[in-house]
Amino acid sequence: MPTATDRGVRRRSIPWAVYPVMLVTTLFWALGHPLGRIVLRTAHAMQLGSINLAVGFLVVLAWLAITGKVRAVFRLPVKDLLASLSLGILGFALYQLLTFSALSRIPASMNAVLVATNVVLITPLAALFLKERIHWGRALAVLIAFAGVVLVTFNQGFRADGGIDLFGCLLSLLAALTFAAYTVLGKRVVERNDPLIVTALALFSGAVLLSAFTGCVVGFSGLGAADSLTWTLMILLGVTMIGFAYPAWFTCLKMLPASRVSIFIYLTPVFAVILSFLILGERFSWLFYLGGAMVLGSVVVSTATSGRRE
């Protein structure tokens, strides 16, 4: 059933430019997987995550300044301010650390598909933390996603030589879990405040926390010897994946019905697999693509079921 927001969106004329902007946003998120894997040949996962968050935060901060929203940050209730900063631990510091660590161990295509399960993992977390009832359609989506993950992970079969880095797959799934937790735990904070302001605060705390942790564990001195390609890609990922994508996402979300925006979520792992094939030459058995289709299908079922219940 369409929400009041969706009906209000339909009453307004929607600029045609919204759709290409959403498409570019999806492509930027997808590009993070193959380009991130290239960076990780030289940089450490912690270093990449720290630079990504720092650059992304600066771009989002500039966006808030241009739109005159910086002062609104200081008008947030103390409770919501602290909650937003706390969300940065899950949604950005831990997520970046886990997903880039996974990307350093497993193919970019595999990481993209496994991380996409975050949409489905919201269902059990919402039941646990928000006491939401689990609709049968969403429960089915979780089961489909789990079966798809097994096929994606073991697409070469259960080989004695290890075949694929199972620890890397676990890190990718944990990344999906942390972002799902970020979405669920931040739901009420986002509903009460401007989502972009909440995201900016979470980005700030995530960037500070991960940078401090990186400085203590691996340091940044090694980046001094990194070539221009590595630095260019790290800065590019911060600008595009976070600095452009988040403001664009929230801006378009105000203009489009949520059900229409969700279509672009489905495209992210698809684009990531295609781009990983074109850029990195990644190839898999047919089981990988079947498993990927099952994960994508579970995301569609979970989102569609959630939309009908709103």
- Residue boundaries of the structural domains of the chain: 16-309
Q: How confident is the model at residue 229 (pLDDT cuts 50, 70, 90)?
A: very high
Lowest mean pLDDT among 18-22, 201-205, 269-273, 279-283: 18-22
Q: What is the pLDDT of residues 243-259, one digit of tens each?
A: 999 998 888 877 766 65
Share of the chain above pLDDT 90, in %: 52
Q: How confident is the model at residue 160 (pLDDT cuts 50, 70, 90)?
A: very low
C-alpha distances out from residue 137 to 186, 255, 300, Å:
24, 28, 10
The amino acid occupying position 300 is V
CA nearest to 84, candidates 189, 206, 171, 162: 189
Q: What is the pLDDT of residues 110-153, one digit of tens each?
A: 999 999 888 788 878 888 887 777 777 778 888 888 888 888 88
The reported pLDDT for the residue numbered 261 is: 67
Helices (H) and strands (E) in the chain, counts: 16, 0
Residue 169, SS3? Answer: helix
Residue predicted with more confidence, 19 or 231: 231
Any idea of the CA torsion for 206, 209, 211, 217, to the nearest 10 degrees? -140
Tell whether the model's pLDDT for residue 209 goes beyond 90. yes
Query: pTM of the entire structure?
Result: 0.86
